[in-house]
Structure 1
């Protein structure tokens, strides 16, 4: 980044909250961060902009937890306003800060072009199409090592033997085996993708900094297991939801991939009861409360399913399937026990 651009980004950082309120008006302040759907000002909660200098970095730096994109407030201005020329970004920033114009000889910063330069939905669909069904692959081994053995109706999951992993900008790309999950809308159209990079033998996730990443349009959408009708269960992680799927295989379920996205899932028409698969942490509590409020306002009964430990996959691995089954029977609506819970053979 040139000195002029660096100085401009620094000045914007000193007014980070004001910048966010102006250019990311669809978001809101949450503590020391501004929270919004993405850098293009989409409503949601997956992107966080730091509002104060801290040990983690300067004010104005942002990260989108859903896509892995990151940048500064110049990126925010560019993407939120749909600007392609850096001179237009500078002019917009100067107008906001009411600064005199920077010399037209100032160069654009040498930054990595964000992943949004390609249509994320198209690339998600291509990646899923290039992957293969999971039976007989290390994805199956990975899930079984997590205690998940019921793998029917898992067409939303696939295996890719060489899915590219980019540790950080300018680092070499690593092709690694990965679990590929399709994130779909209520009509079944792929809107995004979630990748879990795996160890070569499927024994665990790959030993890399961020073994899970998602990209695409995730807001309101989810990884789906079964087709929702009048009753549905919704949780965060794929492994958590699949843990319940083995005990209740006929109950349609969705994995929203994060607490923030769980709170924002779209309700299918005709839904009358929603089981909220809670993770035991502050983010899970917040998602639970938000989802209960949304369900109630839509005249949908909301019932919370709470694990004994951190999440239901941990319960499954520690206590076993019989204890998990008994745990769920006590929390379901009575009419749903006989309808959905598979009794022990």
Structure 2
């Protein structure tokens, strides 16, 4: 390993190892996001697809397939499918959340309009379904189409659970499995399926993706309250947007009557005043909600690592374990 490679983060090293496959995925994405009749489609899509994302989800598909000894070309189509599904959900999410920035850049709905974002998102979903049928593998089609449905279901569940302090940790986990983990687990699972691996290996790949996705989202929710320069997040964004994430759910479960009144005012009623974030942080720390959330993220990360350790030692296996370690590095 060169000095430059040794300094790379795990997902960057994975991208280096998968460089040829990733180039093929990116070329296919550019080809399939084109439109002869609607130039707005490639304009909007390119703004988000080429915004410098990590391409983590499609890399998981490529890595899982290669880990399982696959030497065909269909994993490229499936990786592009995964990225199209992810990009479509981002376009829709930014409209629902009325977001103004994504990856440090203005969102598509801000640069164009909500109608364009929604319709281009629909176009990308349609492209994803075209791509996922091309390998001619019914099991792959079932996995990815089920994931698309689960993602939509998770987003609707999140919408109905938002600002509802009766939301339990079980419901939170259901939301996370829908909006985040479903695509992670589908991405890794189809890699094993396309390689024709035994059910036990395919299940291990699913378990890895599922646990990684859950840990990924819990860490993201935790960092909203931990923040700091290293995270790139502003402390309290979720609080200001009244998002009911795991730290807050844990704190509310231990709250006394006065504390519950505070949470109802700032989250359910949206009556937030100066100093409320500091009060919220005090309550989260007082009841150990942040530490309990951190422990939960570490537990899911351990499950992901255990699933991957069932595979024989290899560079790709170690890199996938490294990606998992990187996800929780900032809270471990």
The TM-score by the shorter chain falls in which range?
under 0.3
TM-score, length basis structure 2: 0.27
Larger radius of gyration: 1
TM-score, normalised to structure 1, is 0.26
Higher strand share: 1
Structure in which a larger fraction of residues adopt helix: 2
